[in-house]
Amino acid sequence: MTSKSGNPVSPYRWVVLVLFMLPAIATQVQWISLAPVATDAANIYTGGDTKTLDLLAVVFMLVYLPMSFPASWCIDRLGLKWGTGIGVIILGVSGFLRMFAPDFTWLMVFQVGCAIGQPFVLNSFTKVAGNWFPQEEEALASGLATMSVFLGLAIAMFAPGLIMANYGVGDPAKGIQLIMSIYGIFSLAAMLLYIFLVKDKPATPPNPIAAEKKVTMLIGIKNLFKNRDFLYLLGAFFIGLGAFNAIMSMIEDIFRERVSDHAILSTLSLTSIASLIGGLIIVGGIFGAVILSALSDKYHKRKIFLVLSMAVSLPLTVVLNYCPNIILLGVTAFVFGFFLVSALPPELTYAVEKIHPVPEATSNGMLMLSGQISGILMVAFFNMNVITVLFGAGLIFALLMKDVAANKA
């Protein structure tokens, strides 16, 4: 098989992508594995203090900040097999050892290990796509990688409750241990499959950009900040990914007042509403990441999907913030996730196409890091009205960008 550019394409690319998606799922289930069963887990590990237990999730965002650039450097220098593989090994071993943690201190030690592994995986999305896929499939490959992250989130949100309902009734410790064991064994299995079966790249590059010699990471960072279109993209990414992280983190707070003020919502518990709306955002994101990424590749358009993401998200945040109708909220949540999350793969691909020969992991890491920083800031100063205004600014950034196709013309 050959690509549209005439480059040979290996069928093994799909195997590599699936093997990469497994540790991507593992990062998310390890991140918030105990959040849905926080009360029971806190009784076991922190004497009932759920605030202390929340640190297990917070540490993932905090560790990402200092580890993003070292992870990107390793990926760029050592390649997909061992650069990303370092993080996969740290994640797999730490995730497996978590199931043996005797107390909260050791649990936190192993959680930090999982957090260290995460940027090695998340900063590799475009590396996988660039190394193995032709240009007409790159956004789709990034979309499937992105989908795996949200699939991991969906598993982490829903599986613990089901496990506790079937195995933890009357003995919460048994249910919690089963959750830790399932996720630990999965993380270890994902690591072993990755290390033994993933290849760094095919014998011949599948696209012209993959064949180029890349500049060093330091030169790449300088080039990023000299590129006006990348700076517009960075601003939009800062807003979009940060808003998503903040809304998902603070989703109970968004609906807290309406549960008591509105008759329709008051028939449901706050936890039920938050789980439903959060779940629908994630499900919408899973569909959007695949469908719109495929369209982006088909028409080789990137900018329009970021414009759509910002334009649609702006009014939908108003609905999420004020609407009292649970059906309308559910539809809004799905559409919000569909368009907001779907912009991620095309824009990661846009960055690679726009600023090559900057290494893929450098641009990928810079964008992901901006979303982590903004997520922390938006959680600390959470206000849905401010987020709505920020989406307006993100729309301006998106409109100012020049599309790759137009730039090549």
User: Pick from 211, 226, 246: which residue ends a domain?
Assistant: 211
What is the C-alpha to C-alpha distance for residues 353 and 331, in angstroms, rounded to an integer?
34
Q: Are residues 8 and 131 in the same domain?
A: yes
Q: Are residues 173 and 239 in the same domain?
A: no
Residue 232 lies in a domain: yes
What lies within 8 Å, CB to CB, of 14 at 6+ separation is none
How many separate domains does the chain show? 2
Residue 340 lies in a domain: yes
Q: Are residues 182 and 322 in the same domain?
A: no
Q: Are residues 125 and 77 in the same domain?
A: yes
Structural element, H or E, at residue 180: helix 172-197
Q: Are residues 103 and 246 in the same domain?
A: no
In the 8-state DSSP scheme, what is residue 134?
-
Percent of the chain surpassing pLDDT 70: 93
Q: Which residues span the domain enclosing 186? A: 1-211
Q: Are residues 8 and 153 in the same domain?
A: yes
Q: What is the pLDDT of residues 116-140, one digit of tens each?
A: 999 999 999 888 988 999 988 888 9
Nearest to 20, CA basis, from 128, 113, 123: 128
Q: Are residues 111 and 138 in the same domain?
A: yes
Residue 37 lies in a domain: yes
Q: What is the pLDDT of residues 33-49, one digit of tens each?
A: 888 888 899 999 999 99
Place 406 in a pLDDT band, splitting at 50, 70 and 90: very low
**Is the pLDDT confidence value at 28 over 60?**
yes
Taking the CA atoms of residue 159, residue 164, residue 165 and residue 170 in that order, the dihedral angle to the nearest 10 degrees is 180
CATH code: domain of residue 56: 1.20.1250.20
Residue 269 lies in a domain: yes
Residue 409 lies in a domain: no
User: Pick from 211, 238, 266: which residue ends a domain?
Assistant: 211
**Is the pLDDT confidence value at 9 over 80?**
yes
Place 54 in a pLDDT band, splitting at 50, 70 and 90: confident
What lies within 8 Å, CB to CB, of 396 at 6+ separation is none
Q: Are residues 309 and 325 in the same domain?
A: yes
Residue 408 lies in a domain: no
Residue 407 lies in a domain: no
Q: Are residues 142 and 92 in the same domain?
A: yes
User: Pick from 211, 244, 275: which residue ends a domain?
Assistant: 211
